[in-house]
Amino acid sequence: MGAPKALLDWHGTPLVHRVAGILGRVCDPVIVVAAAEQTLPLPPGVEVAIDAAPGRGPLEGIAAGVRALGGRTHAVFLAATDLPLLHPDVVAQLLDSLPGYDAAVVVAGGHDQSLAAAYEARLLARAQQLLAAGKPRVAALLDGARVNRLDAGDLDDPQALHSMNTPQDYRELRGAPQPAVTVSAPGAAAVAVRAATLGAAVACVAGPSEEAGHPIALVNGVLVPADPATPLVRGDVVELRATRASR
């Protein structure tokens, strides 16, 4: 890509912040694997695990993430950082497709999308064994496993797992319209806008306020942090409110 994918700009926010924020709607905890001495801009509450052996690819990162998880959950959604169109509904759909299997994986173009899939944690724990055996391919995790393979067309949002592997991929996705969302402000009717972040949505509307204050927002009825970088996805309904200024 010519630059770290995690830090690529996505409509004003780093890509890793966007993906972690989207996962945070469905998953707890959210763990991001970083290289040693790498500082990543992340939403509050996201945990960081350190890739102990750089240069060994995604499987090494998976091993680090599993160690950080520490057995806190049996179901895991594994995501690469280059998934700007990731949608919480698709994350939930794959996790809902996991019971009874070791993994729930989408097949696109004849290939398993193994870096955007749901797994039993015990299957991901094989990552360290595969590395020790000199088998660094992520696809090896699925060897002999019970895999629920879904067609990309069956997803709630078929574009959600579109990844970026080249600068051209990045330019094309970055140039596409931002997510269509609905925003309402105090005293104003709801409007349809295009916005990839809460900050962009706020900028699209101007709501009157009795006194100057800090706006708060609900996304799909859930209160979210007052962070302009909070990611929005297709179909979100944003309700802006205002708090009175403190005296």
Q: Where in the chain is the domain with CATH 3.10.20?
A: 180-242
pTM for the full model? 0.91
Q: What is the CA radius of gyration of the chain?
A: 19
Is 246's pLDDT higher than 90?
A: no
Q: Which two tokens stand for residue 156?
A: 């709630």
pLDDT digits (tens, 9 = 90+) for 213-224: 456 899 999 998
Residues in the chain, total: 247
pLDDT digits (tens, 9 = 90+) for 2-20: 788 999 999 999 999 999 9
- Predicted local distance difference test score (pLDDT) of residue 4: 87
Q: Which residue's structure tokens are 């004003």?
A: 12
Q: Which of 75, 98, 79 is nearest to 88 (CA)?
A: 79
Is 231's pLDDT higher than 60?
A: yes
Q: Where in the chain is the domain with CATH 3.90.550.10?
A: 5-174
Share of the chain above pLDDT 90, in %: 72
Fold adopted by 5-174: Spore Coat Polysaccharide Biosynthesis Protein SpsA; Chain A (3.90.550)
- Predicted local distance difference test score (pLDDT) of residue 241: 83
CATH of region 180-242: 3.10.20
- Predicted local distance difference test score (pLDDT) of residue 190: 92
How much is the average pLDDT of 241-246?
59
Give 195-213 as a DSSP string: -SBHHHHHHH-----SS--
pLDDT digits (tens, 9 = 90+) for 65-118: 999 999 999 999 999 999 999 999 999 999 999 999 999 999 988 899 999 999
Separation between Cα atoms, residue 59 and residue 62, nearest integer Å: 5
- Predicted local distance difference test score (pLDDT) of residue 188: 81
